[in-house]
Structure 1
C-alpha cells in the first residue's frame, strides 16, 4: 500500500514524491570515518513539500558520497537535535534555522548512528558541518562539506538511500527499513526510474 501511495504522489508531481524540486551542485567533503578523508560529492538542497520562498517547510540536503564499497546517498531533513526530537521532521523558514538529520538511524559496526548537517549562515548555505551521535544524542563533528554553488552543470542525480549505501551502513530499525524500501520503490515507479 505504501508503495502505491508514493507511486501515485510521484506520478502526480512528475518528480520525487517528497522533496520534488531542488538545486543540485557539487562540493568537497573532508571527513573522518565513516566518511572518506576527502571526496568530491554531489549535493542537492530542497524543500520537502516544495513551498514557496520564505514559507515553512522541511528542508533537505542529499549527499552522494563515493566510498570504497560504492556510492552512499545520505539524505537529511530538518529535525530537532534532542534524543527524541531528532526523530521528528521540523518545519523551518530559513536554512540558518535548520539542523538537518537522519530521521532514522543507521546500524554501523553494531552501533546505531544518527547523522546531522549544520549549515553556515548563508541563504542558501555554502558550507555544512556533519555530525554523528549514538543513542545518547551527544553530537560530534565528523566532516565538513563545502559547496561549489556556481557548479550547476552536474547531470541530475536520483538520490536513493535504499539502493545506494555501503553494505556496512545498514538502515535501521529493520521494520522501518522495510517501509522505506516500499516508499522509495513507489517513488521510483512514479518517476519511471529503473
Structure 2
C-alpha cells in the first residue's frame, strides 16, 4: 500500500521554477517518491489563479511534462470541501446561520468558504474563532468524504488521483 507524506507550505504552493525543483527533488531525491500530488487553494491572497482549472494548468506548465506529477486545486479554498458538513459547522459554532449555497465549490472570491465558516464561528456562541487545523479536523472527524466528493468535483478528482495511485476503486 502506498504511503502518503503531506508536505505543507506556509501560505501557498511554490510557483514556477521553484515548484519544478521541489517536484523533481521529491521524485529523484534520497527518498525518491513514486508520485507527487500538488494541492493548492485558488484563493491564496494573490491573483495567481482564476479558478481550479487555471491553477492546475499553471502548476502543470511550471513543472513540465511529468507523468508522476498530479496538480489539484480546491476551487477557491479548502473550506469549500467542509461546507457539505454545514450542520456540524453549525453545531461546533453554536449558531444556526444557513448554509451559503448548495454548490460548495461555487462559493467564490467575493466571500470565500473560509470567510463563511469564520463568520459563523465568530457570530456563534462557541468561545473561539475558526482555526483551520483544529476545526477542519473536528468538522471532518468521522465523516464520509464521499458526501463532499458528490457535490465537490475538485475534491472528487483529488480523491480519485489518490485512489488511482493506490490502485483502489475510484469514486463514480
More contact order relative to length (CA 8 Å, sep ≥ 6)? 1
Q: When the two structures are superposed, what TM-score results if normalisation uses the length of structure 2?
A: 0.30
More helix by proportion, 1 or 2? 2
Instruction: Indicate the structure (1 or 2) with the bigger Cα radius of gyration.
Output: 2
Q: When the two structures are superposed, what TM-score results if normalisation uses the length of structure 1?
A: 0.27
